[in-house]
């Protein structure tokens, strides 16, 4: 496991990482020598006091495959992970300086395609409202629903707990709906900020 305070990985989404702590350097070396897989999990608030130990984590995470690696001269790594599948931590185990866990895979269900078509348009419209009419540059029509929803969930500037609530959705349809709720809430906040109060 690689617990971080502000990072949530989603299936199919890329994540660049810079690894510098000795325990996580060993984790990367061990992963590169075997399955090339790391489980990304989110640290709970208050982790700072026990960061060097094993502070509490949220149980839902996402595995990432190391698709690119660069080992620097001092032993640090630059990595590119590609999100694979969601999981739930069943129990943690010792034996290494980094954290090991038994996990239960939680595959995404794609949901109803026609519903996702509609949600896709609503999501793009919500983003355009938040960005004063700007559209997602370079977004092609052939980008899959999964790539769009998970890419937005990871790439948008949302609070870590908002991202975690998206990762916890069991279907792509539910995740798209949740993302739409979050975007519409932020749009209302923005409107309230402009007008002083929202009546």
- List the structure tokens of 1: 């496991």
Among 21, 20, 38, 13, CA closest to 146: 13
Per-residue confidence (pLDDT) for residue 115, from 0 to 100: 83
* 84/38 Cα distance (integer angstroms): 10
Count CA atoms within 13 Å of residue 78 on its CB side.
Answer: 3
Burial class for 188, CB neighbours closer than 10 Å (0-12, 13-18, 19+): exposed
Which residues of the chain register pLDDT less than 50? 195-199
- Write down the pTM of the prediction: 0.86
């Amino acid at each position: 496991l690689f617990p971080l305070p502000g990072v949530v990985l989603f299936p199919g989404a890329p994540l660049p990482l810079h690894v510098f702590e000795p325990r996580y350097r060993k984790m990367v070396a061990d992963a590169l020598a075997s399955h090339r897989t790391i489980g990304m999990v989110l640290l709970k608030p208050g982790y700072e006091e026990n960061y060097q130990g094993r502070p509490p984590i949220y149980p839902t995470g996402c595995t990432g495959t190391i698709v690119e690696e660069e080992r620097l001269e001092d032993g640090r790594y630059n990595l590119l992970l590609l999100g694979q599948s969601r999981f739930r931590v069943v129990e943690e185990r010792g034996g290494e300086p980094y954290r090991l866990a038994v996990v239960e895979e939680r595959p995404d269900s794609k949901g109803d395609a026609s519903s996702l078509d509609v949600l896709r348009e609503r999501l793009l419209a919500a983003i355009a409202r938040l960005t004063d009419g700007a559209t997602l540059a370079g977004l092609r029509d052939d980008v899959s629903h999964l790539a769009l929803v998970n890419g937005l969930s990871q790439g948008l500037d949302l609070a870590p707990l908002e991202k975690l609530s998206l990762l916890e959705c069991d279907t792509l349809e539910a995740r798209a709906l949740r993302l739409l709720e979050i975007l519409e809430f932020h749009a209302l906040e923005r409107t309230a900020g402009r007008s002083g109060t929202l009546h």
